[in-house]
Structure 1
Amino acid sequence: MQDPFYSKQKRPKRAGGMLAADAWLDSSLYEFWQALGRGYTRYQDFMSRFHVTGFKRFIVEILSDAFTFGAIGAVLMTALAMPAFSIIDRGAFNKAEDYSVVFLDRFGTEIGRRGIRSDDSVALDQMPDYLIKATLATEDRRFYDHFGIDIVGTLRALASNAQGDNSTQGGSSLTQQLAKNLFLSSERTFERKIIEAYLAIWLEWHYSKDEILKLYFDRAYMGGGNFGVTAAAEYYFGKRVQDINLAEAAMLAGMFKAPTRYAPHVDLAAARGRANLVLSNLVASGFLTEGQVTAARRHPASPIERTADVNSPNYFLDWAFDEAKRIIDETGAQGNNFTVRTTIDTTLQRYAEEAVTSVVREQGEQYKVSQAAMVVTDTQGAIRAMVGGTDYGKSQFNRAIVSTRQPGSSFKPFVYAEAFEQLGLKPSDTISDRPVCIGDWCPQNYGRNYKGQISLQSAFAASINTVPVTLSIKTGRDTIAALSHRMGLRADYPVTRSLALGVASVSVLDMTSSYAVFANDGLKTPAFGITRMTTLTGDPVWEYDPDAPRERILSEQTVAYMNQMMRAVVTSGTGSRAKIEGVPTLGKTGTTTSYRDAWFCGFTGNYVAAVWFGNDDYRPTNNLTGGTLPTVAWQKFMAYAHTNIEIKPVFGVDFVPEQTIVADAAAVPAEDAAERPPNLTPAAARKLLDLADRLDIAIKDLAPVSDQASAPAPSAGL
C-alpha cells in the first residue's frame, strides 16, 4: 500500500510546473508585443519616406482617385462589352429574314422580288466618286484618319446638341454606324453605344477602310425596303448606281441619317432640302467647289414613279421565297443576295388566274362560293402556274399551299390504285354496288340508289361511294394512307373508316403532285418551283437535277388501268365538263359533306392541274360539286394552255391527239379552240418559233398574215 504521506509530498512539485508554464506564456506575449511594436516603428519609418504634404499631396490624391475610378470604369466597360464579344464570336452578320431574292421565270425574265431589296454586286471603285465624297462629307469627314471612333466629331456633336444646333452631322463615325447596321438594333441606349464602339474598333482591326466603306454602302437602310445605295439607285431613280448624277448622289447620301424621313417618295421637299445640305457639305469639306454643285442645286433629283407590279405571280413568289430560304439554309450559302430561276410560265400563270377568277366572278354568287385555288405543273413536276386565291391584293393567304381541305371523291384514285396493286383487279372487273357498313357507319351513294353489279370503271366514273369503301375493307385503310403519302400527300391525317371517301387533309399543291404520278408513268413526281440559284454576281449556289433517279410508286399496269378509268370520268362520268376536243383529258371530281369543298384534279399528256373551290370560313356552298365550277375552271385553263403546242398522248389511253394551232387562246372559246385557223402576226409567229426552239415544241402549219415581205413565214413542221 502506498504511503499517504508520500503522496502528499509530490503535490508541491506539480505546482512548480504550472508556474513555469505561466511564466513562459507571459514572457512570450511580452516578446510578441515588443516585436510588433518594433515592426510598426520600422513600417512608420519606411512610410515616412512617401509622406507628401502641400501641393504635392493634392496631385497625388487626384492621381490616386483617377486610377481607382479608372480601374472601376475599365471593369464596368469590360462587363458592358461582353455582349459585343459574344456577337463577334458568333461571326454572323445576316439573319434569314434579311435575304434578298430576285426571281426569274422559266425563260430568265424577272418576275418579282422578295425579302429586302439589296444589291452588293457593285465594287467600290465602280461607284461615282461624288457619291463617295458626298457620303464622307456628311457622315464622317475624318473617316480615313480615325481608328473607328471619331473623338473630335463626337465632341463637336455634343457641343452642337448642347447649343440646340440642328447639325447635319451626327456623333457616330461611319464605322460605328456600320457596326450598328451589321450587329445591333436601332435602340438609343448608353449600353448600346458602348457595344457599338467596341464593334467599331473590331471592324477597323479586321477590315480595311475601303472594305468598311463598301460594307456601309451595301448595308445601310435607304428607305422603301431598300438596303444599300445600289438597290436604292434602281428603286428611286431607275438607274444603275454607276449612272446617277451629282444631284441624285446628294439625295442618296442625305438619306443615311434618316431614311424614313428623307426618302423622296415619302417627302420630296424634305429629300431635296436634305440633298442641298449635302451639297453644302461637299463645298465646306473642300471636296467640290460651289461652281461644281451649282447645276445640282438648280436641277434637284426627281424620283421615278413606282407602282406595284400587279402582274407578278405573287402567290407563287411567296411560296418560292420560303423554298429559296430553305435551300439557302441547307446549302449554307454565304451572303444575302440571290437570283433564283423558277419554273413558272407567265403565260400559263395568266391563263390560270383568268380561268379561276372569271368563273368565281361569273358564277360564284349563284353557288355561294367566294374562293378558289389552282396549281399547274408539267408531267415532270415543274410548277407552271399557282393561284392561291381570287385577289392577292385583298388576301395574301395562299389557299393552294397553306390551306388543307378534304378532297372528297378526288381521293378515290388512291383507293382504286391500291386495290389494283394489291388485289390484282382490273377496270373491267365487276363488284357489287350495295349497302355496306363499317360498324355503325353506313355510307350512301349520291342520290341514295344502288346499281347492283357494276364494273370498277363504271363505279369510278359515276363516283359511287360504296365500291371504294368495299375495296378499302379488302386492302386495309392503312395501306391506302401509306400509298397516298408515297404519291405526294404530305399532311398527316387520321386513318378513319371514311378515309376511302376522302376524309383527309390535303393541299392543292400536294394533290397536283399526287396526280402527277399517274401522268408520269407511276414515278414519284414531287412539285418543284426552283431550278437554279446563284448569287447576284452569278456564282452558283444550287441547281435542280432533272436526271436524279425517281422512285417507282405504281406499276405501269396500274397506271394504265387508272388512266383508263380517269379518262372515263371525262367521257362518260362526273367530269364531262373537262372535255376538250382534240386533247386527251383525264381526272376525278370531288365534293365533301355539306358541299364545303369542291375539287377537280386531272391531267393531260402535257400538264397536271388541281382546282379547289370553297369558302375560307368553311361555310357550305349552294350545292357546289366538283363536276361544276372546278371542272369548268380546269377545262377553261387547259383549253387555253393546249393551244399552239404539241398535244402529247397519255400512257394507257387509246387517244390520238389532233395537232392544231389557234391564233389567240384568250380570244377563242374553249369549244372552238381546235377548229379555228391560225391568224398570227409576224411578231407573234417569230415569238412562237423562238419558244419552239427553246422548248422543243413542234409547231405545224404556221401561216402568219402580213403585208410585209421582209417578214417571211416560218416553215411548217418545226
Structure 2
Amino acid sequence: MATNRFDSPDKVASGSHADSRPLDAKASARSPHAVPPTIPDVQPGPPPPAGSDQQRRRKVSWKRRLRRWMWRIATAASILLGLGFLSFAALILYYGQGLPETAELKNYRPPQVTRILARDGTPLAELFTVRRTVVPISTVPKSMKFAALAAEDASFYSHEGLNYFGILRALLVNLWSGRTRQGGSTITQQVVKNVLLTNERTFARKIRELILARRIEQELTKDEILELYLNHIYFGHGRYGIEEAARYYFGKSVRDVQLAEAATLAGLVKGPSVYSPRVDLAKAEERQRYVLRQMGDKGFAPLADVEAAARQKITLAPLPENNAELAPEVVAEVERKLVAVAGPQADQGGYTVTTTIDPKLQSAARAAVRNNLDAYAARRGLVAPLKRGKGDPAPFKGTPTPGGGRVYNGVVTKADDGRGTLTVSVGTAEGTVKLDKAKRYNPRNLPPSQFAEVGKVVRVTFADDDPRSGRLELALGPQAALVALDVRTAEVLAVVGGYDAVRGALDRTRSAHRQPASTFKPIVYSYGIHTRVFTAASILETEPAALGGRYRPANYDESDGQSPRRLREALATSVNVAAVWTLDKLGPAKVAAWAQSLGIASKLGADLSLALGAYEVTPFEMVAAYNTFAAGGTYREPVLIRSITDPDGKPLPLPDATPPRRVMEEAEGYIMTSLLRSVVETGTAKRARSMTIPVAGKTGTSNAAKDTWFVGYSPAIACAVWTGYDDASPLGAGETGGTTSLPAFIAFMQEAHKTIPRTDFAAPQVGLVRVPIDPQTGQLAPLGVGGIEEVFLAGTEPTGPAELPSSNEPAPSLWPF
C-alpha cells in the first residue's frame, strides 16, 4: 500500500524506517557480550514484485545516503572554499603591503634622451642614461598599436588586467617542468613588471604583479597603460621605447612607420637579441609574418593590407655612426645650462636644446682646423714614415709620473705588424701605440714596421694619464681651436676645440688658457683711441731705450725697426716696443680694466708685459673682444643656446645672459676696424689679401712660437684661431700666427661666405673725419705737397701742418681708404 504524504508519522515509520525487531533482540545486538542470533537457513525466493514496500524502502534509503554524502561534500567544499578565500585574502593582504602607488604612474617620468640640435634642427649630440624618447599614445599610429596587441596581448582592451587562462596555462607548464618557463603576462602585467617591480621570477613577485595589475586597471585607462608599455619596453641595441626603436631601425619617427615596419617592431619585444633584423634578418621576417597573421586573424587590419605588408622586404636605415657627432664641443656647455634651467630633473633627460651652431659652418671649421694641422705636420716631418734624424729631441729619462697630462719623448723599440702596434720606451716605463688610432699621422695606413724606424724619438702620452696602463697615444703634432660668432648677435656659429671630434675631449676654445701674444695689442690701442690720447696717426716710440730700462722687449723681425712709427704702421707690422710704450702712457691697470669691459674675463696683470699678451686668455674671450670692434663698439656675450624645451615640449626660460653694453662709440669701433684692415693690407696678415671678402684682424706669436693666433672678422663673422702644443712646446722656427693659424682662418671664412652677399665695412655717418696727413709726422700734409688720407674721430684730427721735407722727393699719393 502506497504511503500517503498526509499519513501519520507512526505509519510512515512502521512502513519504511522503524526497526521491527523485538526489543530484546535490539538490546542483544547492542551488547558486546551477546550471542549473535542464529540466522535461519532460508532459501532465496523470487524478487519482490515491482512497487512492493521493500523496493520502495530501498529507494528511499539510497536517496537519503546520496543526499547525506552530497551534503557532506558541499559542506567540505564550502569550508575549503572559505579557507581558500581567507588564505587568498591573507595572501593579498600580506603581499599587498608596501607596494608602489599605481596612481603615480600618471606622472611617471622615465629617463629619456636629451637631444642637442643645430639652429636648423640638425642633430649635434645626444645625452642619456637610457636611450628613450617618450611619445604620447595619440601620436602612435593605429597600425603600431594593433601590431603590439597582436604580438603580445590581443584581448588587452577586453580583459581587466589579467589573463586567467594564460596564468593557469603558465602555472601548469611551470609545474610540469619544475621551473619557471612561462609567464602568461598581459600588457598590464608587463607594465607592472618593467615599471614598478623587478624582473626576478619568484612566487612573491608574481603575486605582487597580479595585485598591481588589477590596481593599475582601476587607476589608468587602457590607452594610458598602452602608452606606458610602448614607451618603456626594450627593443634591442640599447633602444628603449617605440620612438627610439623606430628611429634606430627605420630612421623615422614612430608616427611615420608603415604596417610592415610596425609588425617588425612589435615582433622584437619577445626577444630583441633574437628577432632583431640587424642580428638575424630571416628570424625577424618570420616573426614579422606571425604578427601580421595575428593582425589579420584578429581583425586588427584589413587582409589586403596584411598581405601587401607581408610581401614587403624589411628595409633598415643605415647604422648611426657613433663618432659622427658634428659638434661634441657644445655638450659640456649645454649640460651646464640645462642644469641651471631644469635643476636636478635635467638628469632624467627628455629635453630638446636648440643651439646657434650652423652645421655647414661647423663642418667647414672642422675641416679648416684639420687641414691646417695636417699641413703643419707635413712640413715639419710628422707624417709617416718617420725617420731617425739628428734633429730628434732627447728622449725622456727617468720614471714617468701619473697625472698632469704630460707628454714624453719616447723611443720606438719594436714594431708588430700583426698586432698593428709600436712599442715605445719612455724612461723606465714601456707601452704600446695602436696605429689604428693614429690615422692623423698615418694617412697612408702604413704598417708599424714602415711607420717609424726603431730608435726614432716620438712624442707620446699615457692613456688615462696613467703610466701603469701600458697604453700610449701619439702626440706628434700640435692642437688648435677655432670659434666663430655672428657679428650682429654674437651667436656661436662654429666651435672646434681640437683635431678630433670626440665628446669629453679638451675643448680648447673655452678651457685652454694661452698667451694671446700680439693679438692683445689692438686692445691696448683701442683704449688709446677711446680715451682720445692717441689717434691712428700718433707717432709712437719704437726703441727700447724709450722705456727707461724698466722693460726691454725686442721688436719681432716682422718690424723693420725704423723709428718713429705711426700707430697704424706699428700695429700693422706688430712693433713690440711701440705697444709697450703706448701701454705705459695709458696705464697698465686702466688697460686691464678696459680689456675686461671688452669681454676678457681671465686674470690680467697690470704691468708692461700686458701689452705683448703675456697673460693667458681663451679663444672665446678674444673673439668676443674683437667682435666688439666689428659690431661698432657694442659688447655682446657669446650665445650658444637658442631654446630649451622640456619633455612635454614646453619652452623653458633661459638664464639671463649679460645684456649688451656699449663699450665704444660706433666711430671708435670703425677706427679699430680701419687699423686692423692695415694688418691685412700691408702688415703681418698679408696672406689674407687673397680672400675675396674684406677682413680685418691681427696675428699673434708668443715667445719661441709656443702659441700662434689669428683673430679677425668680416662684416658678418668674427673668428679666432689658436694653434699650439698642449704642453707649450715650441712650434719651431718660422712658425708664426701668419703661417700657422691664419691659413685656417682664411679657409674657414672663404667657405663661410660662399652664401653671404659681399659687403664692405660700413662707416658711421657721424663722428669721423678724414684728412690728408704727412706720413712721417702724422700732422696735416703741407698745402700743395699732398700726403696720405687718415681717418680720425671728430675733434682728434691734427690741426697744424707738418714741416716741408728738405729733399726734393715726390710726396706719396693719397691712401686709398
Task: Please give the TM-score of this superposition, normalised by the length of structure 1.
Answer: 0.65
The one-letter code of the counterpart of 1:565 is L
Partner of 1:249: 262
Taking a change above 3 Å as real, the CA distance of residues 305 and 409 of structure 1, as seen in their structure-2 partners, is same
Does residue 405 of structure 1 match 2:524? no
Q: 1:374 matched to which residue of 2?
A: 482
Relative distance call for 1:502 and 1:253 in structure 2 (3 A) is same
Confirm or deny: 8 A CA contact 2:540 2:582 kept in the other structure.
Answer: no
Note if 1:93 corresponds to 2:204.
Answer: no
Deviation at 1:252, TM superposition (A): 0.6
Instruction: State the partner residue of 1:602.
Output: 712
In structure 1, C-alpha distance between the alignment counterparts of 2:189 and 2:205, rounded to whole Å: 11
- Is the contact between residue 147 and residue 201 of structure 1 (CA under 8 Å) also seen in structure 2? yes
Shift in alpha-carbon separation, 1:517–1:217, aligned structure 2, 3 A: same
The answer to whether the Cα contact below 8 Å between 2:231 and 2:242 also exists between their aligned partners in 1 is yes
2:373 to 352, 360, 373: 360
Alignment pair present for 1:613 and 2:629 = no
Aligned partner of residue 303 in structure 1, secondary structure: coil
Closer, same or farther: CA 395–218 of 1 in aligned 2, 3 Å:
closer
Query: CA offset at residue 196 of structure 1?
Result: 7.8
**Partner residue, 2:576:** 465
Pick aligned residue for 1:127 from 119, 141, 151: 141
Determine the structure 1 residue equivalent to 2:235.
222
Work out the CA distance in 1 between the residues paired with 2:603 and 2:571: 24
Superposition CA RMSD, Å: 5.3
Q: Kindly indicate whether residue 345 of structure 2 is the aligned counterpart of residue 329 of structure 1.
A: no
Partner Cα distance (1:229, 1:550) in 2: 45
For 1:501, the equivalent position in structure 2 comes to 612
Cα distance change of structure 1 residues 467 and 167 upon mapping to structure 2, 3 Å threshold: farther
Matches of 1:189 and 1:474, distance apart in 2: 84
- Residues 234 and 501 (structure 1 numbering): CA distance in 2 closer, same or farther, change over 3 Å? same
Match of 2:699 in 1: 589
8 Å CA contact 2:486–2:716 kept in 1: the answer is yes
SS of the counterpart of 2:718? strand
1:431 deviation in Å? 3.7
Deviation by residue 1:541-570 (Cα, 9 ceiling, x = unmatched): 569999x96211233354234223322222
Deviation by residue 1:251-278 (Cα, 9 ceiling, x = unmatched): 2112234445543224434433544554
Distance in structure 1 (CA, Å) of the matches to 2:593 and 2:210: 59
Residue by residue over 1:498-554, the C-alpha shift from the partner in whole angstroms, topping out at 9 and shown as x without a partner, is 4443344443333322211110011112233444556899866569999x9621123
Supply the distance in 1 between the matched residues of 2:83 and 2:179 (Cα, whole angstroms). Answer: 38
Partners of 1:257 and 1:486 in 2: CA distance? 63
CA 1:414–1:276: 2 relative to 1, 3 Å: same
Q: Residue 135 of structure 1 aligns to which amino acid in structure 2? A: A
What SS does the corresponding residue of 1:264 show, helix, strand or coil?
coil
Structure 2 equivalent of residue 43 of structure 1: none
Q: 1:249 to 1:495 in 2, by over 3 A?
A: same
The residue aligned with 1:559 is: 669
Distance of aligned partners of 1:206 and 1:609 in 2 relative to their CA distance in 1, 3 Å threshold: farther
Quote the Cα distance in structure 2 between the aligned partners of 1:614 and 1:583: 27
**Contact 1:333–1:541 (8 Å) recurs in 2:** no
Q: Please give the alpha-carbon distance, in whole angstroms, between the structure 2 residues aligned to 1:386 and 1:273.
A: 48
CA 422–430 in structure 1, closer or farther in 2 if over 3 Å, else same: same
Matched residue of 2:731: which SS? coil
Determine whether 1:635 maps to 2:647. no
User: Structure 2: how far apart are the matches of 1:200 and 1:422?
Assistant: 77
Aligned residue for 1:627, secondary structure, equals helix
Mapped to 2, the partners of 1:320 and 1:597 lie a distance apart of 25
Letter in 2 for 1:103: L
Of 626-635 and 530-539, deviating more is: 530-539
> Which of the residues 624, 628, 631 maps onto 1:520?
631
Give 5+ residue unaligned stretches, structure 2.
Answer: 1-74, 383-476, 771-817
Alpha carbons of 1:501 and 1:63: their partners in 2 closer, same or farther (altered >3 Å)? farther
Tell me whether 1:425 sits opposite 2:534 in the alignment: yes
Does structure 1 retain, via aligned residues, the 8 Å contact 2:692–2:750? no
Give the whole-Å Cα distance in 2 for the aligned partners of 1:556 and 1:176.
69
Show structure 1 runs of 5+ residues with no match.
1-54, 657-718
Cα 1:211–1:655 shift into 2, 3 Å: farther
Q: Which moved more, 1:188-197 or 1:322-331?
A: 188-197
Offset at 1:127? 1.2
| 1:608 Cα deviation after fit | 1.0
Distance, in Å, in 2 between the alignment partners of 1:335 and 1:466 is 56
**Residue deviations 1:323-359 (CA, integer Å, cap 9, x gap):** 8846862899999656665544444444434433333
- C-alpha separation in 2, matches of 1:475 and 1:159: 94
Q: Which has more radius of gyration?
A: 2
Structure 1 CA distance, aligned partners of 2:522 and 2:206?
64
Alignment partners' CA distance in 1, 2:202 and 2:723 = 53
Within a 5 Å distance, the mapping from 1:202-281 to structure 2 comes to 204=217, 206-224=219-237, 226-238=239-251, 241=254, 244-259=257-272, 261-275=274-288, 278=291
Give the SS at the match of 2:541: strand
Q: Decide whether the 8 Å contact of 2:710 with 2:722 is kept in 1.
A: yes
- The answer to whether residue 117 in structure 2 is matched with residue 103 in structure 1 is yes
TM-score (norm. length: structure 2): 0.58
Matched residue type, 1:488: G
- Report the equivalent of 1:668: none
Task: Tell me if structure 2 keeps the 8 A contact 1:176–1:197.
Answer: yes
Q: Secondary structure at the match of 2:227?
A: helix
Is the Cα–Cα contact under 8 Å of residues 514 and 616 in structure 2 kept in the other structure? yes
Q: CA deviation at 1:414?
A: 2.9
Change (3 A) 1:199 1:588: farther
User: SS at 1:579's partner residue?
Assistant: helix
Q: Report the counterpart of residue 187 of structure 2 in structure 1.
A: 174
Query: What is the SS of the residue equivalent to 2:715?
Result: coil
Counterpart of 2:461 in structure 1 is none
Residues 365 and 93 (structure 1), Cα distance of their counterparts in 2 relative to 1, 3 Å cut: same
Partner of 1:25: none
Residues 125 and 327 of structure 2 are in contact (CA less than 8 Å); yes or no, is this contact kept in structure 1?
Answer: no
The residue number in structure 1 matching 2:126 is 114
1:301 partner SS: coil
For 1:386, which of 490, 495, 498 is the aligned residue? 495
Aligned residues: 587
Distance in 2, matches of 1:301 and 1:168, equals 31
Opposite residue 515 of structure 1, the aligned amino acid is Y
Larger proportion of helix: 1
Alignment of 1:301 with 2:314, yes or no, is yes
Q: Distance in 2 between matches of 1:476 and 1:545?
A: 34
Shift in CA distance, 244/251, structure 1 to aligned 2, threshold 3 Å: same
> Could you list the per-position Cα deviations for residues 372-422 of structure 1 after superposition, in whole angstroms to 9, with x for gaps in the alignment?
332222212233333343443799654434544332222333333344445
Give 1:610 deviation, angstroms: 1.0
In structure 1, C-alpha distance between the alignment counterparts of 2:748 and 2:310, rounded to whole Å: 56
- Mean CA deviation greater in 457-466 or 336-345: 336-345
Check 1:178–1:421 CA distance in 2 against 1; reply closer, same or farther (3 A cut): farther
Structure 1 residues 438, 557: closer, same or farther in 2, change over 3 A?
Answer: farther
Contact 2:680 2:696 in 1 (8 A): yes
- The equivalent residue for 2:398 is none
In 2: Cα distance, 1:235 partner to 1:385 partner: 28
| Structure 1 residue matching 2:633: 3-state secondary structure | coil
Q: Aligned equivalents of 1:603 and 1:250: distance in 2?
A: 55
1:512 touches 1:609 (CA, 8 Å); kept in 2? Answer: yes
